[in-house]
Chain A
Amino acid sequence: MKKILALVVALLLTISVLTFAFAEDDKLLIYMVAVPGSPYYSQCERGMQGAVEELGGNIEAVLVGGVTLDGIREAFEKCIGADPDGILALGLTYELMNEPIQNAVDKGIAVYLFDSYVAGTQAKAYYGTDNLNAGYIAAEDMAKRLNGTGKVACISQTLDTESSQGLRREGFISYMKDNYPEIEIVAVEQAIDLNVGAEKASQLLNAYPDLAGIICTDGQTSKGVASIIEERDLAGKIIIECFDEDEQILNEIIKGNITATIMQDAYGMAHDCVIDMVDFIRNGKEPEQEVNYLDCFVIDQVNAAERLEAFLASGAAG
């Protein structure tokens, strides 16, 4: 009797182990390494989950990450330890991400980049914004609103020329110089947060009383600028443009303190990335091109309310 029982138990164990093993083989585990909790990356996460739903089958997709550059790298390294099938990550900088990406690829993990591109790594492909082009779009939009003439200042969180913000700034300035010579870029100021953004906006308005426009290469500092516009009752009298969206930026656009924002397709970049990644993991299909740029679009008073409604309904506001 004991032998029969032992045999049954052994048989059951074997079946369950085999079932588990086969099930795990079939199930895909994908990590997204970004900034959990941020409204912007919540939209990316929704894009990832949207792709997972579309693809069907047994896919588990998880957002992990950190709030600092080092934290994001550490999260990436922890993901490698979990032995997933694929990782979608931010490129950030070559120095920061090349080694962990190489380690992941060496372990047979498919690595795809989204939102932040860095050249020269072993990542299969990139899906995100062409930031130089985003700068052109902002410049064209502002130039039209200014009828091709006036003084414009730029506020940027970084002064480098290679980061996302650096490329947007370079794109904006070069486009204006090439296409709208009567628009003068009078200053480029650095502001690391919205408090400094407010301070710099105020100083710029004092230094150039005839300032016609301010471009912020991010969303955060534009909130500080918007507070100065409201404080000085300048809504509609000076063009303020920025990048990205969240609830506050959309509300400031509705109030008129920010004229427009250049929105990246946060949902689309993660969505398309997951679709191609899973195709590669399941079918071995290589991405058609390494760098895949998604369109940017302008949000202003015409579409801000509708966009805000969609934004709140999506739950991205947190």
Chain B
Amino acid sequence: MKRILKSREVSVIIPLLLVIIIPTVIYPAQFLSFQNIVDMLRSISYSIIVAVGMTFVVISSNLDLSVGSTMTITGMVSGYFLMKGMAVFPAILIGVATAFLIGYLNGFMVVNLKINSLIATLGTQYVCKGLVYVMSGGASFYPFPDAFTVFGKGKLWGIPYSVFFAAVIVIIAAYVLKQTVYGRSVYALGGNGEAARLAGLNVARLRRSLYVLIAVLSGITGILKASRLGTASPESGTGVEMSIIAGVIIGGASLSGGVGNMIGTVLGVSLMEILKNALVIMRISSYWQNVATGVLMIIAVSMDSIRNRRKK
């Protein structure tokens, strides 16, 4: 019991309960309506798919700031080929392959060129943002065939497919992280990279694989979002990365690396998304919504900093 209470995830459960209980008490009909719950689940599912990749990257003591623009470019690339009349699966595959290349490029810059991960992925963010405008001239791609939009719009028992997809990804990721050599290597890399290298771990390959993983997951999310709206827009995905990183840190992962897990990430990302929803349901002004989200992010990073100091 003591161990559970001391765990990092507990600190997120209390605020999570608060953002659920307060709107439930004040606006129960709106907040607990089936439609609103579905909306929240959908938003959480999109963020979680990317956050799974970010959890691996953060645990390995790295960061990726290009996830938002990777989402955008992947949706745009798939959308472009769909507009050209390509069949749905090849168009999706080309989109995912684009994400794979972006991830590999990030990994190459961080591992082989020894560029700081923040700078490398920030650079990629700008390149991708520029490229989507070059390929689209600023216009959105639409309309898409039903065979494509079904991934984003389709539902099972009234729940969007993306929710089931995110759940499967989380379960697989949790298993990989805790039960496989790959997962333990990620923890080792984040805990002490040099020690991991001396222990015989192929650190370079592992790092590259993490950037590919997060890019592919971001790409899939970009495709799901384009599919849901039936439109791929060059303006989408702006600012997503900060919200995702905040969710992962709130969930207990440490920016110093070596710490974090999937349950925490699910809780942290859920907190961020439910808060955004609850603020609208509770009729809070948009100005204050930004303040509240920002404060939550600051608290999250501060908590991480305090935990690290205590550990030392």
Contacts and interface: CB of A to CB of B under 8 A. Distances in A.
A207 B39 CA distance: 12
A237 to B, nearest CB: 15
Contacts of B133: 37, 67
A206 B36 contact: yes
A308 B43 CA distance: 33
A195 B225 contact: yes
Interface in B246-296: 276-277, 280-281, 283, 285-287, 289-290
Nearest to A40: B138
Interface in B225-247: 225, 228-231, 233, 235-239
B308 interface: no
B231 A248 contact: yes
Contacts of B139: 37-39, 246, 317-318
Interface residues of B, number: 39
A35 interface: yes
Nearest to B240: A195
B229 A204 contact: no
Given A37-B136, A193-B235, A246-B139, A159 B33 contact: no
A187 interface: yes
A194 B280 contact: no
Contacts of A49: none
Interface string A209-234: 10000000000100110010001100
A205 B34 CA distance: 13
Interface in A175-218: 186-190, 192-195, 198-200, 202-207, 209
Interface in A17-42: 35-39
A195 B137 contact: no
Interface in B201-230: 225, 228-230
A-B pairs, 8 with minimum CB distance: A37-B137, A38-B138, A203-B280, A206-B36, A67-B133, A193-B235, A227-B229, A193-B236
5 contacts: A187-B280, A189-B280, A207-B27, A220-B140, A224-B229
Interface of A: 35-39, 67, 159, 186-190, 192-195, 198-200, 202-207, 209, 220, 223-224, 227, 231-232, 246, 248, 251, 317-318
Given A194-B140, A202-B39, A317-B139, 18 more contacts: A37-B138, A38-B137, A38-B138, A159-B286, A192-B239, A194-B229, A194-B235, A195-B237, A200-B280, A203-B36, A203-B277, A206-B31, A206-B281, A223-B231, A231-B153, A248-B140, A248-B142, A248-B231
